[in-house]
Amino acid sequence: MRVTLDAIARSNGRYRGTAIIDESYGDREFQTMHEGGIRGVRFNFVKHLGGRPDLGFFRKTVGRVKSMGWHLILHLDSTDLVEFRSEFMKLPVPMVIDHMGRVKAGDGLEQQPFKTLLEFMQNENCWVKVCGAERVSSKGPPFGDALPFARALIEAAPDRILWGTDWPHPNVGKHMPNDGDLVDLFALMAPEPALQHKILVDNPARLYGF
C-alpha cells in the first residue's frame, strides 16, 4: 500500500484510499493505513481475478474493519449476490457493491441477482457504485442498456449511491470504454443537479469521512 499512502500524503488531506490486503496485515499495518487515510478494504470474489477469498480471513477482516470504522468494497460476480445473500446481509459494517454487482443487462431487471441487489439496498449498510456500465452492458458502446439498472438502484437508495470512473479500466472485456461516454452516461443516470451533487460529493464525503 506504499504507493497509495504516498499519494494520499501528497494530497494534503484531499484524498482517501482503500486497501487490498492479505493475512500478513496485523494491527500495526491497519493503524498505519488508517493514519495514512485508508478507509476501506476491497475483496474480489470474481472468478477472473482469482475467485472467492477464504471466508475465515474475510470474516476476520470484517471484525478489523468494524473496529477501525471502515467499510468493505465487494467486487462480485452477479451470482455471488444470490449465493452469499445471508452472509452479506448480516455484515455489521458498510459494504459497497462495485459495478452494480456486475449483473448482465441482457438478463433484464427481473433477474434474480438484480432483485437480490435491490433487496440489499433496503439495508442501511449497503451501498452501490453505479459505475462499470461497460461490464453490465450486453450490447456494447455506448452501454445505454445499463441505464435502467443504475436508475433503479438510485431510486432505491439515493443516499447510498457512489460513482467512479474505473479508469484505467483494468481487466476490461470486449470493449475499452471511452471515458467521455461514461461521464455522459452518468448524467443520464442522474439528470438532476441536486442528485448528481449527492452522488458525486455528499455521499462519498459521508462514507470516507471528508
Q: Which residues are catalytic?
A: 166
149 touches 185 (CB < 8 A): no
131 touches 141 (CB < 8 A): no
Q: Residue holding cell 443487462?
A: 105
For the chain, strand residue ranges (E) read 17-19, 38-44, 71-75, 95-97, 126-129, 161-162
